Amino acid sequence: MKKNRDYWICQLGGWVFYSLAIMFFSFVFDRGITPLFFKRLLLSVGFGILFTHILRLHIRRFKLLPPIIKKQWLVLLIGVLMACICYSLTNSWMVEYLGWYNPQRKASIQQRFLYNLFNDSPIILLWISIYYVWHYVVAGRRAQVDQIRMETLIKELELKTIKSHINPHFIFNALNSIRALVDENPTRARTAITELSNILRSSMMAEKMETTSLEAELNIVKDYMALEKIRFEERLQLAYEIDEETLDLNVPPMMLQTLAENAIKHGISKQTKGGIVKIISKIENDHHVLIVQNSGTLNGTVNSVGFGVVSTQNRLQHLYGNEATFSLHELDNNKVEAKVIMPIKN
């Protein structure tokens, strides 16, 4: 409905502008603005509106809107030629039929038709040009909007995937560890089930949250580490250096857990004697600094850590843009450090 209304506003407005332009130039060049001039101008505009509208119906009937493929150009060309011929022929015939001409300069209907075809066809061509330029602009804008929507959707899907990611191997290993504890230590098994439940619940809730408090995130990490402690036993040592002022600061949900999981998978699990995972949270230069250190090496490439690095970089970019940084490097004493620096936003 709105499209038709806009079309008729443009259609009538364009032909009114054409009429005013004809009158202006006729006045400037003293072509004689007489009652006969106004009659013929009104007739020309009326048939112009009629045949350009028929041309629009032809375009829509044969689906000739942009983009146009090769065969459609021929159908469009035929429609435009027919509109020009019918416009000129009908206009010439009606002038002859109504007698709206100067008897002293009377021309035959054939001569008038050729004259009108030569002089009036450009307005039809101008109309079709404006019509297609408009639709190309609209199509371009629609494509840009669709592209932005698609990019936004992809980012949202990627973010949901990142936030809800839990390594399936971890769940498998945790269930195996719990199964081993059922007979050996039922109390610890029940606690382990609660810890696993907390992690899974937090993973599902992460899809609904942009950020969470460090304290809540840290509780999930401790549950995760407690489950891994069952598997690695004395091979896994834990250490925490948490500035209490940072507990209420906001962090991306499951990000710290992902880094902790990364430290276990690519660090501790590859060390024969195991090692230590140390989590540090502090404030430096009005920024929140999160550090996860683990025993091990990078084996000369950052890409070996896979999902943890990529997910952390993507989430920080999504939430903070260039205000946050992430780095991963080796320390001198056979340790790897993952460091996140975020602006403090409450």
DSSP state of 67: S
Residue 209 backbone zone (phi > 0: left; psi -120 to 50: alpha; other: beta): beta
Write down the pLDDT at residue 161.
55
Which residue, among 98, 3, 8, 96, has the nearest Cα to 52 in the 3D structure?
A: 8
Of the pLDDT bands very low, low, confident and very high (cuts 50, 70, 90), residue 305 is: very low
pLDDT tens by residue, 213-244: 999 989 989 988 988 888 888 999 999 999 99
Q: Where in the chain is the domain with CATH 3.30.565.10?
A: 168-343
Name residue 259's amino acid.
Answer: L
* CA–CA dist 156, 315 (Å, integer): 11
The pLDDT of residue 301 is 47
* Of residues 87 and 102, more confidently modeled: 87
For residue 170, which of 234, 232, 253 has the smallest C-alpha distance? 232
Which CATH architecture is the domain 168-343 placed in? 2-Layer Sandwich (3.30)
Overall pTM > 0.85: no
The pLDDT assigned to 154 comes to 58
Residue 12 above 90 pLDDT? yes
Neighbours of 144 (CB within 10 A): 10
- The region that residue 235 occupies, defined by phi over 0 for left and psi between -120 and 50 for alpha, beta otherwise, is alpha
Omega before residue 103 within 30° of 0, cis: no
Of the ranges 111-125, 165-179, 202-216, 303-317, which is most confident? 111-125
Lowest average pLDDT, out of 9-18, 31-40, 233-242, 305-314, goes to 305-314
More confident: 26 or 200: 26
C-alpha gyration radius of the chain: 38
Sheet holding 325-331, edge to edge: 236-242, 275-284, 287-295, 335-343, 325-331
**Which of 79-93, 163-177, 187-201 reaches the highest mean pLDDT?**
79-93
Is the per-residue pLDDT at 212 higher than 70?
A: yes
* Mean predicted confidence (pLDDT) in 108-116: 82
**Start-end of H helices in the chain:** 2-28, 35-61, 70-98, 109-163, 168-184, 186-206, 214-232, 255-266, 307-320
> What SS3 class is residue 72?
helix
User: Which residue carries 């002293």 as its tokens?
Assistant: 104
End-to-end CA distance of the chain: 47
What is the tens place of the pLDDT at every residue in 176-210?
Answer: 778 877 877 888 888 888 888 887 777 666 556 77
* Mean pLDDT, rounded, of the chain: 84
Which residues are CB-neighbours of 18 under 8 A, at least 6 positions away? 45, 48, 123
- pLDDT given for residue 159 in this prediction: 56
**Distance in angstroms (rounded) separating the CA atoms of residues 339 and 259:** 10
d(CA 229, CA 150): 43
Mean pLDDT of 307-333: 82
What is the C-alpha separation between 147 and 161, in angstroms, rounded?
21
Region 16-42: what's the mean pLDDT?
86
Contact 311, 258 (CB under 8 A): yes
